[in-house]
Amino acid sequence: MKVEIWSDVMCPFCYIGKRRFEQALQNFANKDEVEIEWKSFQLNPDMETNPNIHIDQYLADVKGFSIDHARQLNAHVTQMAAEAGLTYNFDKAVVANSFNAHRFTHLAKKHGLGIAAEEALFKAYFTDGKNMDDNDTLIELGVEIGLDAAEIKQTLESNAFADDVKHDIAEAQYLGIRGVPFFVMNSKYGVSGAQEVRVFDETLQKAFSEWQQENPKPKLEVIEGESCGLDGDC
C-alpha cells in the first residue's frame, strides 16, 4: 500500500508529523507492505534566502506578529518537537528558499534514498542550523546518505528535477492540499497535520484493510510432489 507525504523542509510540523507517523508505522503489523513516497510542497515559494535575518523576525514580518509572539510560537513548537524526540534550535535557523532542497530530494528519490534525504534535511535545518539553499550544504548532506558528490553538484547547478518539484506542487493543488504535512494513504484517505500517533494508527489500519481487499494475494492450486522444505527435510 502506498503512502504519499507532502511536506516542506521549512515546516516545523512536518518533522514532528514524520516522527509520529513513523511511530505508528513501527507498531503496524503490516509495515513491510507499506511504500512511502515523500512529495514536494512549498509553503512560501517567494521566500528569499537571507541568512542575516532571524527566523523570529521573519515570522513576525510575514505574519504581522510582534517579535515576542513569534518567539512564543517557536517556543511552543520546540516543546512539541521535544515531546516527539526532536531537538529544534530556532536561534540557529537560516531563512532560505526550499526549492533547491526539493530538487535534491528528487535526486535522492531516483536512487532510492528519498526517505533518508528528508530526514537529513529536517535535521540539518531544525537542529543544526544549516542553510537549505546552499549547494555545499546539500552536497555534504547528500554524500552522508550515499549520493555522489559530482552528481549532486551537477544537479544543483542545472535545472534538473525542477519540473518534478512543480508537478508535486500541482498535484497537491489538484487534491486541495493547502497545508503540510499531508499524508495520503491508498489514494483514498488524507491525514492533515502532525496528528497524534493514534490517528495515524487508525488510518493506517483502515486504509490497509481496504487495500488488501482490493489487492488479494493469488490463491494457488497446488499439486503435491516430492520436494525439500525450508527445514531441510526432503
- pLDDT tens digits, residue range 175-194? 999 999 999 999 999 999 99
What is the signed CA dihedral for 71, 74, 76, 78, rounded to 10 degrees?
A: -130
Instruction: Let me know: does 61 contact 14? Beta carbons within 8 Å.
Output: no
> What whole-number distance in Å separates Cα of residue 110 and Cα of residue 9?
19
The DSSP letter of residue 50 is: B
> What whole-number distance in Å separates Cα of residue 151 and Cα of residue 137?
14
Please give the pLDDT value at position 68.
Answer: 96
> Residue 229: how many CB atoms within 10 A of its CB?
7
Strand, helix or coil for residue 130: coil
pTM for this model (two decimals): 0.91
What are the boundaries of each domain within the chain?
A: 2-214
Nearest to 143 by CA among 161, 159, 156: 156
Strand, helix or coil for residue 129: coil
- pLDDT tens digits, residue range 57-79? 999 999 999 999 999 999 999 99
| CATH class in words for 2-214 | alpha beta
For residue 26, is pLDDT > 80? Answer: yes
Please give the pLDDT value at position 230.
Answer: 63
For the chain, where are the alpha helices, taking DSSP H only? 12-26, 55-63, 67-83, 99-110, 114-122, 135-145, 149-156, 162-175, 197-214
φ/ψ (deg, to 5) at 98? -95, 5
